[in-house]
Structure 1
Amino acid sequence: MEKKVAVYICSGCGIGDALDIEQLSSVATSDCKAPICKTHPNLCNPDGVKLIQDDIANEGVNSIVIAACSLRVMYDVFNFQGVVLDRANIREQVVWSHPANDEDTQMMAEDYVRMSVTRVNKSELPDPYKPEQEMSKDILVVGGGVTGMTAAVEAAGAGYSVILVEKEAELGGFQKKVTHKVTFPYKEITANDVDRLIADVKKNDKIKTYTGAKVEKLVGGPCVFTASIKQNGSVAEHPIGSVILAAGWQPYDPANLDKKLGFGASPNVVTNVMFEELSQSGQIGRPSDGRAVRNVAFLQCAGQRDPQHLPYCSSVCCFTALKQAIQVKQKNPGSNVFVVYKEMRTPGQGEDFYRKAQQEGVIFVRCQDPEVKVSGRELMVEAHDELLGEKIVLGDLDMVILATGMVPVTAFGEDFKAKEKKEGEEEKSDVPADAILVSDVLNLEYRQGPELPGLQYGFPDSHFICFPYESRRTGIYAAGPVRRPMGTAGAVEDAAGAVMKAIQCVELTSQGMAVHPRVGDLSYPEFFMQRCTQCKRCTEECPFGAINEDEKGNPLPQPTRCRRCSVCMGACPERIISFKNYSVAMIGDIIKSINVPDEYEEKPRILVLCCENDAYPALDMVGLRRMNYNAWVRVIPVRCLGSLNLVWVADTLSKGIDGVLLLGCRHGDNYQCHFVKGSELANIRLSKVKETLDRLVLESDRVRFETVAITDYDKLPALLDEYAERLVEVGPNPYKGY
């Protein structure tokens, strides 16, 4: 469209006191050729907003620059439909973080106006993506346990049709094997009421249930998924909007436990899961002969929190042991029941249940390394009691119950891919035997694999702080013990949370919008295929599996899967991928719009390419706390550092800018990147920048990568100042003035 640009400069919040507003307006009209430039003492109040709205309606303004506060605030106020809009942050990152009425501060504000006008001139209004096929808002729930059934009931209650798939012949999952449970307020054990939840599912006409079934194939993306469900030899296809993975868990294989725990040495050494099966009859008898038990020992953390088995805590085992110990005491009040533990983990009001077990007469022994001794029919436990400071022997035991942990029903990820263990092959110590499974839950037809990518321990990858339930496959949300170890109370909460994410996904996608974290973004990647070299980097580097390939290696984008991170844009060496409001060329032009003083003026320039998720808000927080940093800095927020194209580094240095600093999220095992791999990919790409620097005959110190969390704001001023000092040592960029 033909652009008519208007620049609006706010003089409130101290901006007018710190800057020459008249000079700033002159930059907008003279340097940037904006036909309209207006100032206002408080742009975000109704009068200021009306000023902008009147110009849109009466003056034909369709491209707006608001030079005021950060784009992270007042986004609901400055929300004008049908116009290209950009925000020049001259409050938090200029006047609140630099000296007032200073030449360098003024130059910084002027540069931000130039950069912002360039951005709107190079942007187009995005058109929401509308697929050719009809979009579905139905929700597929995989797994018919407590999590899956709760999710189905919650989704149906919100008005959405649900397809529920359970691999077993009956609904209920593991809870069908459990006679009693512990519920809030955690003071008594109660009869399991899973049958009531099953009845709720069966009578709900919005829920179509498949039992004894599996998802044979899942193709497409949010709102355009097609699920092929196999049941009794026949296959039914359903259009699906989003998916909740509630496939549940399985117990860790006790055969892998250390021999000193006694499993297999006596039939009377059982697991906590086997105990539940034994108690189904209503009697708790010794497995070897069925005799009522009198002396019982529960051993906690059997293989858990152990690098050789399960390195994590399964969270429910302490509650389960307390419940089972109370069951034994209630069946036989005269019995001796011992719980041998490392640490009792009953947080919050769960402490009341721990007291309940004490009141029932359960005896607790703290020991880090107990040993089970089996001699003929005799069964005993040797333990060093840390509280008594001496070794004790629990003898004449009828049963020992080992608290084995929870493993996701199918282990996910690179280390847990479907592989058959070859005969005679040695077991890897860091991969549990349970993980050597054929992956067969979702059966995605994705170039990146048939299941969800996973974390180190086989749970589907989900950023534990910023977006629980999210997986790396857009529109597929994990919930319940398949996501992380949890009990039924946690599973019910998890189910409701995942349903809200699934509903959000179908509603946003049906409008052509992105889901978390760029919620509401209407742009999507466009491919100029005539220049594609089939290098496959976009498909390999996309963190979310949003691009498949045809038989010739051409990318096949699936826009409803796209999170708009722009990692594909940064990956493409031919620069054929762009967004209407974000492109390689656009950022290049913004860099070129920065005014670079002559070297004799001794005013170096530093370009900061800054992740919009953590580093940019951290810089805002520096301003909010009135902390100062070097005025040579010019910040360009980017969607993700994974969108970095190395041509930006070349553009920056050839422009005469003295240094390039990349501020991104932490990467690695405990990554903090909202787009999973973006920061890591930027670091990898930057390792190849030496070639660019050598070609330009420039020092490698001019380009640096730093990881920044939002909580690191207090470290940023020193980091920026130290980097500026290093550039002074290196000397001016020899390309200044060219």
Structure 2
Amino acid sequence: MTVDKQAPASGSILVVGGGISGLTTALEAAEVGYEVFLVEKNPYLGGRVAQLNQYFPKLCPPTCGLEINFRRIKDNPNVKVLTLAEIEKVDGEPGNYEATIRLNPRYVNANCTCCGECASACQTEVPNDFNFGMDKIKGAYLPHEMAFPSRYVLSPRIIGTEDAKRCKEACKYDAIDLDMEPRTISLNVGSVVWATGWEPYDATRIDNLGFGRYQNIVTNMMVERLAAPNGPTQGKILRPSDDKAPESVVFVQCAGSRDENHLPYCSYICCMASLKQATYIRAQYPDAKIYIFYIDLRAPGQRYEKFYNKIKEDENVFFVKGKVAEVSEDPTTKKITVTAENTITGEKIHQEADLVVLATGMQPTAANTKLPANLRFSTDGFIVNDYDNGGMFGAGCANKPSDVVSANQNATGMALKAIQTLKK
């Protein structure tokens, strides 16, 4: 591993995480004249928003918001983007931080034209993490159709194999470099914004809800990918067991949330995500029956409340106030039966469905991956901002559960805080 020492970048800002919050922070600071280093662990920018089919408030596809931000980055020389990059350590004090960053090899250089010849030549398939493992992709791949930077990646799994050689031989532009190695760089910056985002809570840990045991139980983020035109089923929401159209769907709210054994807090947007996904199903299957089991429903703000009221008018959408206790599967039909007690009527309900969707909560990435810096965290892993001392700040869902609008507003504020640190 080689180590490069970068010249001190006085007055620079480091933004960790290239999701919607990180993009907003970086651009807000860069467009008023500050040098920004944007570091992202994935080979592309966009974060969780890139995985959505649509997002509030206008039910836009990801291209709607990300495309313009990518254009702004291309047009702004103040933003330096580092993908496949991980922060190893941040030391120092406000106005003078030393950040050590590991750059992992992409095995594809800037000559790449996205012609796809390397993927055609590659024979190995690997799980597609972008689609939560619901399909496979070639070992030479473009992460998704609007990936930024628009450049292919070779999976480390094929390096050293005949497939890697085939990919290199197929490339007409000398874009594949199989000799790339990890390297480490050091940056001197004045402030750091941690926009490290969130992860869907691991549904396999919720024993009573059957995820991982029964094929036709999926998570809310998996439904986003199923509904997306560039998803594993080209936008059709189908039962995983037999690829058939579901005639009935159950949404299980607070799957692991508001539970001392899992996530003790409310994730803010899960209720609205399920209501949004109900519209996906209703659009594809007008006769399908949808059952939403909930503890409480949260529609934060007038616009969301209006959306909720519109869904309630749908005669094929049924709301059941009750926490799901258990699920079971018919081994012949693969249908799932959800068992819950209706807390309003006291009736015990056994609802059968073709597909069950678990509304798993947001867990901050920092809860599972320790951030290598002197930061304060809540007991749930969210960054607690220390505005008095300043210097390093958590933005977006690294700070608290948020929807896209709230995350953007928060990120704009953190860009200002980062700038104020440089001014002190």
TM-score grouping bracket, smaller chain normalisation? 0.7 to 0.9
Is 1:265 the counterpart of 2:202? The answer is no
Confirm or deny: 8 A CA contact 1:268 1:288 kept in the other structure: yes
Q: State which of 309, 312, 335 in structure 2 corresponds to 1:355.
A: 309
Distance 1:176 1:334 in 2: 30
- 2:149 corresponding residue in structure 1: none
1:375 aligns with 2:247: no
Structure 2: distance between partners of 1:220 and 1:498: 19
- Does the alignment pair 1:336 with 2:289? yes
| Paired residues of 2:335 and 2:355 also in contact (CA < 8 A) | no
CA distance in 1, matches of 2:47, 2:377: 23
Do 1:297 and 1:401's aligned partners in 2 also have CA atoms closer than 8 Å? yes
Is the partner of 2:255 in helix, strand or coil? Answer: coil
SS in 1 for 2:254: coil
Partner residue, 1:238: 187
Work out whether 1:405 is the aligned partner of 2:358.
no
Cross-structure match for 2:262: 309
Q: Is the 8 A contact 2:384 2:394 kept in 1?
A: no
TM-score by length of 2: 0.74
Tell me: CA distance 1:456–1:301, structure 2 relative to 1, closer, same or farther (3 Å). same
Please show how residues 100-115 of structure 1 align to structure 2 within 5 Å. Answer: none
Instruction: Pick the structure with more helix per residue.
Output: 1
What do the CA deviations read for 1:327-373 (whole angstroms, capped 9, x no partner)?
11111111111111110001221111101222344221111344322
Q: Measure how far apart 1:276 and its partner are.
A: 1.8
> Out of 369, 377, 387, which is 1:454 matched to?
377
Residues 300 and 403 of structure 1 are in contact (CA less than 8 Å); yes or no, is this contact kept in structure 2? yes
**Partner residue, 2:405:** 489
Note the alpha carbon deviations across 1:121-175, whole angstroms, 9 max, x for none: xxxxxxxxxxxx9882111100000000011111112221111000000001111
Other-structure match for 2:202: 253
Q: Is the 8 A contact 1:297 1:400 kept in 2?
A: yes
8 Å contact kept, 2:9–2:187: no
State the partner residue of 1:191: 61
**Counterpart among 293, 301, 316 of residue 246 in structure 2:** 293
1:366 aligns with 2:321: yes
Give yes or no for contact 1:304–1:312 (8 Å, CA) kept in 2: yes
Partner Cα separation in structure 2 for residue 297 and residue 471 of structure 1: 43
**SS class of match (2:239):** coil
1-structure distance, mates of 2:242, 2:319: 27
Whole-angstrom CA distance in 2 between matches of 1:337 and 1:263: 19
Alignment RMSD (CA, Å): 2.0
CA distance in 1, matches of 2:40, 2:292: 35
Q: What is the letter of the counterpart of residue 206 of structure 1?
A: N
Percent same amino acid at aligned positions? 38
1: CA distance, partners of 2:299 / 2:375: 31
SS in 1 for 2:215: coil
Other-structure match for 1:666: none
| Other structure's SS at 2:419 match | helix
* Superposition deviation, residue 506 in structure 1: 0.9
In the TM superposition, what is the alpha-carbon distance from 1:313 to its structure 2 partner? 0.6
**TM-score (normalised: structure 1):** 0.43
For 1:386, the equivalent position in structure 2 comes to 343
Question: What is the match of residue 93 of structure 2?
Answer: 221
SS of residue matched to 2:360: coil
Per-residue deviation, residues 600-631 of structure 1 (Å, max 9, x unmatched): xxxxxxxxxxxxxxxxxxxxxxxxxxxxxxxx
Q: For 1:323, give the aligned amino acid.
A: K
The alignment partner of 1:201 has SS state of: helix
- Is the 1:452–1:472 contact (alpha carbons within 8 Å) kept by the matching residues of 2? no
Q: Which letter maps to 1:208?
A: K
* Contact 2:17-2:39 within 8 A present in 1 as well: yes
Q: What is the Cα deviation at residue 386 of structure 1?
A: 3.0
CA deviations 1:189-240 (Å, max 9, x no partner) are: 3323223323322332111100111123323222222223222323333321
* 1:273-292 paired onto structure 2 within 5 Å: 273-279=221-227, 280=231, 281-292=234-245
Equivalent position amino acid for 2:196 in 1: A
Q: CA deviation at 1:473?
A: 6.6
Contact 1:319 1:346 in 2 (8 A): yes
Question: 1:723 aligns to what?
Answer: none
Q: For residues 328 and 364 of structure 2, what CA distance do their matches in structure 1 show? A: 31
- In the alignment, structure 1 segments of 5+ residues that lack a partner are 1-132, 412-434, 445-450, 463-469, 509-738
User: Match of 1:300, SS?
Assistant: strand
Q: Deviations over 1:423-461 (max 9, x none)?
A: xxxxxxxxxxxx4x5x2x4x34xxxxxx52322111122
Distance 1:202 1:288 in 2: 43
Contact 2:293 2:324 in 1 (8 A): no
2:80 aligned with 1:208: yes
* SS state at 2:93 partner: coil
CA 1:168–1:364 in 2, change beyond 3 Å: closer, same or farther? same
Distance 1:225 1:356 in 2: 50
In the other structure, the counterpart of 2:24 is 150
Please list, as runs of the form range in 1=range in 2, the aligned pairs for 1:657-672 lying within 5 A after superposition: none
- Report if the CA contact (8 A) 1:135-1:223 is conserved: no
Is 2:38 the counterpart of 1:164? Answer: yes
Counterpart CA distance in 1 for 2:16 and 2:88 is 12
| Residues in 2 aligned to 1:398 and 1:176: alpha-carbon distance in whole angstroms | 28
Q: Distance in 2 between matches of 1:276 and 1:245?
A: 26
- Structure 1 residue 403 displacement after superposition: 1.1
Q: Is the 8 Å Cα contact of residues 134 and 224 (structure 1) preserved in structure 2?
A: no
How many residues were matched structurally? Answer: 330
Matching of residues 614-633 of structure 1 within 5 Å: none
Which has more radius of gyration?
1
Question: Structure 1 counterpart of 2:336, which letter?
Answer: L
Q: 1:479–1:211: structure 2 CA closer, same or farther, 3 Å change rule? A: same
Matched position secondary structure for 1:144: coil
Kept in 2: contact 1:152–1:164 (CA 8 A): yes
Higher strand share: 2
Q: Which has the higher contact order (CA 8 A, sep 6+)?
A: 2
1:18-67 superposed Cα distances (whole Å, 9 cap, x missing partner): xxxxxxxxxxxxxxxxxxxxxxxxxxxxxxxxxxxxxxxxxxxxxxxxxx
Distance 2:317 2:60 in 1: 18
Give 1:260-659 correspondences, 5 Å limit: 261-279=209-227, 280=231, 281-349=234-302, 350-360=304-314, 361-376=316-331, 377-395=334-352, 397-411=353-367, 435=368, 437=369, 439=370, 441=371, 443-444=372-373, 451-462=374-385, 470=386, 474-508=390-424
Work out the CA distance in 2 between the residues paired with 1:481 and 1:328.
Answer: 27
Mark the runs of 5 or more structure 2 residues left unpaired by the alignment: 1-6, 106-181
